[in-house]
Structure 1
Amino acid sequence: MRAGEMRNTSLHPEGMGGGGWRHRLGNALKTTVLLAGLTALLLVVGERLGGPQGLIVAGFFVVVMNFASYWFSDRIALAMHGAQPLSYAEAPWLHAMVERLAARAGMPKPAIYLLPTRTPNAFATGRNPEHAAVAVTAGLMDILDRRELEGVLAHELAHVKNRDTLIGTVAATLAGVISYAAQMLFFFGGSLLSRDDDEDGLAHTLGNLGVLLVAPIAATLLQLAVSRSREYGADATGAQLCGDPDALADALLKLERGAELMPYDRAPATSHLFIVNPLSGGAIMGLFSTHPPIPERVRRLREMSALTPRSPRAWHSAWA
């Protein structure tokens, strides 16, 4: 993309990359596939837990969970982390910043929540821009300056604008259910891993053990399929939205270091919602990370900044 082209799209929120109808249609299709895949996994686990009766119970549970995932996944995600509403009186400057960014993006101002953890991070949730929320951690407020914080908030609002939040929260809710169901299969004991009246008891036992091992991995892989590309898109749209790609790049480097020093493992099924992976892990775990590598994200943002001769102050002046 040429420098002039990037400036034009950055100054017109409707032209921001990732927010078009093709992206929304793609997310809708991915959400459908995700729901279908996780539903199938849950039905298999239900059948293994209780045979035909377990399958019926799992089917009923799937209907309830799909309904709840669509309508209430944002509240579920916030509740998992003990997020509390952050009032205007508590942080008027933060509310003003979010309101300004939301206006630039042409969307309603989302609700703001605070997570009581020292790990610096943030995530957005909600089924659409009219029902969205942005959650920031106490640690995020401590280590970032306001320029960097604006970059992070712009990234999160980009997820809302790009319609990424629904698929992310649905994935978090259903992946958590799948993992929990697999744990039930393990903890309920030997009666569920074998059947006395089954002539192929050994085969059935091995099948259950296979489900026990595969279900959590499959749920994670389904999350991976919809997570990594979304982060690149939100970085680009967020950088255009705040007008300062370097601010978001600088923030990502700080957040990566903060996550390494203070990993946050509450509700691991929601880790893909955060701007940086809150879980600790080495090189091998990086292969299964729900986030693209921070160095690559920073490189792309630096290149984006270099495409224009404008300084960060000039970017902000263009938005004024």
Structure 2
Amino acid sequence: MLSVMGLLAAVYAGAMVALVLMLGRAWPIGVAVVVAFAAFQFLTSGKVVLRTMGAQVVTADQEPELHALVDRLCAMAGMDKPAIAVSESRVPNACAVGRSKDSTTLCVTRGLLDTLEPSELEGVVAHELSHVAHGDAAVMTVAAFVGVLAGLVARVGLRLVYIGGRARGLWHIIVVALGFIALSAATWFISLVLTRSLSRYREFAADRSAAQLTGNPSALASALTKVSAKVSGGGGIPQVDLRKAGALNAFYFAPVSAAKTTAHHLLSTHPTTQARLDRLLRMSSQL
């Protein structure tokens, strides 16, 4: 994880230097835009995820068993309790979002509550609480923001090329736009590969922490198997729910669409289910 973060920092520093050189005297405007976009993404990403999931914060009166489970795990881990939300989606999954440990929301779907046994649900919740304790939501937001911005800049550049191509005497706009597209596309692709790699490592870390906290890695492995099988096989889940869940793959306990080839794996937000199960099996043997 440290190696990936170091590489990301180098890529982003190089992109910023190139941006400053390309903008010339207007570089303060470009830097201001980058900072403003970073702040906007950092402050709003968690709310956007919850809104997309259709999740609502629930009280202990509404979901007493879920709250009791989170209370127990937070006491065992010595951490503050996050807000708890439930989405009525039938896709069995869970995620934790928020820009800091003090403003985190743990969200589970109705499909997850209906699918898992209590010990399995405990493992999944412990996995998500591990993400909270590690500050993974904030880390991944910071790690990805330049790449996201680069993708947006590339799209704007393509639009400028289209406008310049339709108008006469605007060839200089096309040249500048092509330069921004090349820089943005390279930054976006490299950052995408690196951030996805970082995400996979942090999923392994969350699995390990959850297994250590509960002392029951086999229950987490069982939950992972059930969730992965039901999501990949459909399991009577409406296609609308699956499409919505697919947009939030990076946030979920288990991805809705799994990588099928080596190339796909390089761009996957999660390790393969088998790789996670193998590590949990080794932990079970050690315990």
TM over 0.5: yes
In the alignment, does 2:237 pair up with 1:259? no
3-state DSSP class of the match of 1:254?
A: helix
3-state DSSP class of the match of 2:274?
A: helix
| Conservation of the 8 A alpha-carbon contact between 1:122 and 1:136 | yes
Q: Which amino acid aligns with 1:122?
A: A
3-state DSSP class of the match of 1:112?
A: strand
Could you tell me how far apart the structure 2 residues matched to 1:306 and 1:98 are?
26
In the alignment, does 2:279 pair up with 1:300? yes
For 1:291, the equivalent position in structure 2 comes to 270
Aligned match for 2:256, one of 255, 278, 283: 278
The Cα shift of 1:111 comes to 0.8
Q: Which amino acid aligns with 1:131?
A: S
The Cα shift of 1:100 comes to 0.6
1:154-188: CA deviation from partner (whole Å, max 9, x where unpaired)? 01111112232311233466554443443333345
Aligned match for 1:243, one of 206, 215, 226: 215
| Conservation of the 8 A alpha-carbon contact between 1:46 and 1:57 | no
Could you tell me how far apart the structure 1 residues matched to 2:120 and 2:172 are?
64
Aligned match for 1:234, one of 186, 191, 206: 206
**Closer/same/farther in 2, CA of residues 171 and 112 from structure 1, 3 Å limit:** farther
| Conservation of the 8 A alpha-carbon contact between 2:193 and 2:266 | no
Could you tell me how far apart the structure 2 residues matched to 1:166 and 1:130 are?
12
The Cα shift of 1:43 comes to 9.2
Q: Which moved more, 1:207-216 or 1:59-68?
A: 207-216
Could you tell me how far apart the structure 1 residues matched to 2:223 and 2:188 are?
32
For 1:185, the equivalent position in structure 2 comes to 157
Alignment of 1:17-166 (within 5 A): 30=5, 57-166=29-138
| Conservation of the 8 A alpha-carbon contact between 1:83 and 1:113 | yes
**Closer/same/farther in 2, CA of residues 289 and 135 from structure 1, 3 Å limit:** same
The Cα shift of 1:200 comes to 10
Could you tell me how far apart the structure 2 residues matched to 1:272 and 1:139 are?
18
**Closer/same/farther in 2, CA of residues 265 and 181 from structure 1, 3 Å limit:** farther
1:207-260: CA deviation from partner (whole Å, max 9, x where unpaired)? 455346435423422322421111111111101112210011111112222332
The Cα shift of 1:72 comes to 4.5
Q: Which amino acid aligns with 1:109?
A: K
3-state DSSP class of the match of 1:140?
A: helix
**Closer/same/farther in 2, CA of residues 169 and 298 from structure 1, 3 Å limit:** same
**Closer/same/farther in 2, CA of residues 272 and 239 from structure 1, 3 Å limit:** same
Could you tell me how far apart the structure 1 residues matched to 2:50 and 2:68 are?
22
| Conservation of the 8 A alpha-carbon contact between 2:98 and 2:137 | yes
Q: Which moved more, 1:242-251 or 1:224-233?
A: 224-233
Structure 1: unaligned runs, 5 residues or longer: 1-22, 309-320
Could you tell me how far apart the structure 2 residues matched to 1:114 and 1:66 are?
28
The Cα shift of 1:68 comes to 3.4
**Closer/same/farther in 2, CA of residues 186 and 87 from structure 1, 3 Å limit:** farther
Could you tell me how far apart the structure 2 residues matched to 1:45 and 1:261 are?
45
| Conservation of the 8 A alpha-carbon contact between 1:193 and 1:204 | no
The Cα shift of 1:117 comes to 2.5
The Cα shift of 1:108 comes to 0.7
| Conservation of the 8 A alpha-carbon contact between 1:115 and 1:136 | yes
| Conservation of the 8 A alpha-carbon contact between 1:74 and 1:127 | yes
| Conservation of the 8 A alpha-carbon contact between 2:197 and 2:266 | no
